[in-house]
Structure 1
Amino acid sequence: MSSGKISSSSFTGNTSEQLKQVKITRIPNGVYVWTETVYWGHAFILVVKENLIIAYTYGGYTSDTSLGVLIRYKNKEAMEYMRKALYLVNSSVYKINDINFDNVTKFFDPIWNNSNNIPPKGGTAYIESAGKIIDEYKIFSRNCTTITCDALKAAGSKIFDLPDFKNYCPRINAIDYGEPFCLIADPSDGYIDPEDLEDYLNYLCLINKNKPNKLVEKMTNLFRLRVPNIDGYKKKFSLW
C-alpha cells in the first residue's frame, strides 16, 4: 500500500468530529478520475498527496447554467463530496498511473486562482466559497467530461494517445437520432459524455487486467472501504 495517508486532524479540530472522520485513512497518493451516470452524469478529478486531498469539479452549478464554475474542494469538503459521489450516485473511481498530484494541480490551480469571478448568491455555501466562474459552460463542448480529459492530457497522461482510444468510439443507437453516430468528432479531443469516458476507462482496466504495469486501475471498492458511508446516504435512482 502506498504511504499516502489522510489523517483525521486534516479535517477538523473538534474531538467528536475527529472520531467520526477517523475511519478515513490511507488513501493512496495519486490521481483519480470519478464518473457517474445518474441523471446527466458527471466526471471530476481527485488528487491525493500525503495529508492533502483536492477534488476539482466543473459544471453549470448556478441558476445561470451558462456560467462555467470550477470548484476546488480541499480535505474535509473533498471527503464529503466523495461520500456523496460514492453513495448517492454510485460513482466509479479510476486511478491514472502515469501522472501525479503535481501534474494535475499545475493545470487546475492557475485557472482557479486567476479568476476573481465568484458564483452569485443562491447556491450552496460550498459553491460560493470554493467555486470560481472560469468560462462559459456548454453542454456539448465544454463540460465536466471535456475539462477532465483536458486536465489529464495537460498533465501528461497518455491514455488518450493509445491506439485503443482511436479505435474505441461508443456509438449511440437511440431511435431519436435515426442512425448510429460517434460522440467524438475528433479522436484526439477526448470524450464529451461521462458515460463514454467511464466505458473507455473500464475497457482499459479490462485489457490491462493481467499486466504488471497498469495505466488505469479501477479503485471503487478501495474507496468504499476507506471512505465509509458515515452519513447514511442512500443511492438515488438513475433516470437514464
Structure 2
Amino acid sequence: MTRAARLALIAAAALSSAGFLALATWQVQRLGWKQDLIARVDQQLRAEPVPPPLVSSKADEYRRVRLRGQFEPREALVQAITELGGGYWVIAPLRLEGGTAVLVNRGFVPPEQRAPEQHAAPNGPVELTGLLRLTETGGGPLRSNVPAEGRWYSRDVAGIAAQLGVADKAAPYFVDESADPAQPQRWPRPGLTVIRFANNHAVYAATWLALAAMAAAAVGYLLREERRRAKP
C-alpha cells in the first residue's frame, strides 16, 4: 500500500470516528426527548379530563378530554389492525353545544360488524371521555387515502371531516373514545388506543459510541504504523 493510500485510510477512519460520535450525541439528545415525551404523556393520562380545546398542538396529544354533544347520523371507516385483529375504526362527528364538530373514534369493529346498523351511535345527548389525537394525513404504509371513494387508511381529520360534511366547523383533531368499565362491551370497541413508545436510543447511542471508539483505535494504530515506517 502506498503512503498516499495509507494517509487516505487514516483520514477515512478519523472521519468515521467523528461521524459515529456525532450519531451517538444525536441519540443521546433523542433519548432525552423521548423520556420527556413519555413523562408528559403519562402525566396527561393520569390527569382529570378537560374541556376540548379550540386548537391543538403536539403538547396536547393524549390529553384526556370530556365531550358533551350529539352524534350526527354519519360515519367513516378507517382500516385498522388492533389486538382484536383486522377491521376498522368507526369515526363519527359529535356536534358540541357550541356548534363545533369533533371527530370521535368510537372504537374498533371487525369486518363482519362494519354495517352502520350493527354499531349505530346512540341517539340524543351523550357525554364521553377520550384521548385527544392529532390528525394522521396521507394514509398507511404503501397505501394512500382515497377520499373520493371513502377509503381511509389513516385518520385524516380534514379529509374525513370534508367527506362527512362538517369541515366548516370541525375541530383540528380527533378523539379516541375511552372505554367505560361500568358499561358492557359493545361494538365499536373503544379503549384500544396503543400508548407505547419505542425507547431504544440508549442502545443506539452505545452502539455508535463503540463504533466511534473502534474507529479511533484504528486511527491510532495506523498513525503508529505510519511513524514506524517513517523512521530511517
TM-score interval w.r.t. the shorter chain? under 0.3
- Give the TM-score normalised by structure 1: 0.21
Report the structure number with the largest CA radius of gyration: 2
**Which structure has greater helix proportion?**
2
**Which structure has greater strand proportion?**
2
- Give the TM-score normalised by structure 2: 0.22
